[in-house]
Amino acid sequence: MLLKFTKMHGLGNDFVVVDAVSRKVYFNKAQIERLGDRNRGIGFDQLLIVEPPSNPDMDFRYRIYNCDGSEVEHCGNGARCFAKFVLDRELTHKRVIDVETKRGQIQLKVQDDGQVCVDMGEPSFVPEDLPFVAPGLADLYPIDVAGETYELTPVSVGNPHAVIRVDDLNDDIVEGVGPIVEGHERFPNNVNVGFLQVLSADEVNLRVYERGVGETQACGTGACAAVVAGIKQGWLAEEVLVHLPGGDLRIAWQGPGHSIQMTGPAEKVFEGQIYL
């Protein structure tokens, strides 16, 4: 099968996007792994598949796969690229787009400057929603990593995150602690790990070690999780500028009962085709 695709990125978090609206497309795990290989395939953090909606009130459905072939529930940077893709391909002319994902429904708003605001839904701090094994509800949870204890905030924003506040965002902690927490026995489905450095009440630095991928240049859901965790702990204000290795996102959350709003860019890199 000759596969047509578009390579895109959101702050360096890169995607291969495939139109399964105009043409039916099917992938197996081995094909996704091959496409995701940066030496023998195209290379990407996630594969995004744009599909017709199953709900008539929605405009589209989209599915998200890591480069190891595992399907994930949500991707904030991917959602922004999705919005740009369907407009560029003239699959819609709407500037407000309602989309089905594995985790539920989201709404994307394309602004006049090309930035995309994503309604990411409400976060959950309930351990069972990630899931995370804990004896009960707490503000911070200690976790043992190679003989050292770290305190984390578990957050579900459609996919699972563990947020750890640090004073220094060095490689040792991200590359050393990240993979251990990702696969820790207290996270039965693994977890995305965010390392948060608070600069002020409205500005932070963040690095994210994503499950099934490793550290990425940017993680939209990770930025949302880090900010809402910081707001919950009293470290941050309701709107925060998040500096990621690939660039900046603006995250806003007014507290329980409100959705998280994430705003940032999306870019097309190139279009291509490859035989599967």
Residue 219: active-site member: yes
The answer on whether 192 is annotated among ligand-binding residues is: yes
**Residue given tokens 């890591």 in the structure block:** 66
Furthest C-alpha separation in the chain: 55
SS3 of residue 181 by DSSP: helix
SS3 of residue 265 by DSSP: coil
The answer on whether 159 is annotated among ligand-binding residues is: yes
The answer on whether 205 is annotated among ligand-binding residues is: no
SS3 of residue 80 by DSSP: helix
Neighbouring residues of 271: CB distance < 8 A, sequence distance ≥ 6: 4, 5, 6, 7
The answer on whether 55 is annotated among ligand-binding residues is: no
Task: Determine which one of 67, 81, 117, 219 is catalytic.
Answer: 219
Residue 167 tokens, joined: 């004073």
The answer on whether 220 is annotated among ligand-binding residues is: yes
The answer on whether 189 is annotated among ligand-binding residues is: no
Residue 117: active-site member: no
Q: Closest Cα to residue 69, out of 104, 39, 103, 44?
A: 44
Number of Cβ atoms within 10 Å of the Cβ of 61: 19
* Sign of CA pseudo-dihedral 174, 177, 182, 187: negative
| 3-state secondary structure string across 84-107 | HHHHHCCCCCCCEEEEEECCEEEE
CB 192 within 8 A of CB 218: no
Task: Determine which one of 67, 75, 81, 117 is catalytic.
Answer: 75
The answer on whether 76 is annotated among ligand-binding residues is: yes
The answer on whether 63 is annotated among ligand-binding residues is: no
The answer on whether 217 is annotated among ligand-binding residues is: no
Mutual angle of helices 220-232 and 76-88, in 10-degree steps = 140
Binding residues for substrate: 13, 46, 66, 76-77, 159, 192, 210-211, 220-221
What residues are annotated to the active site? 75, 219
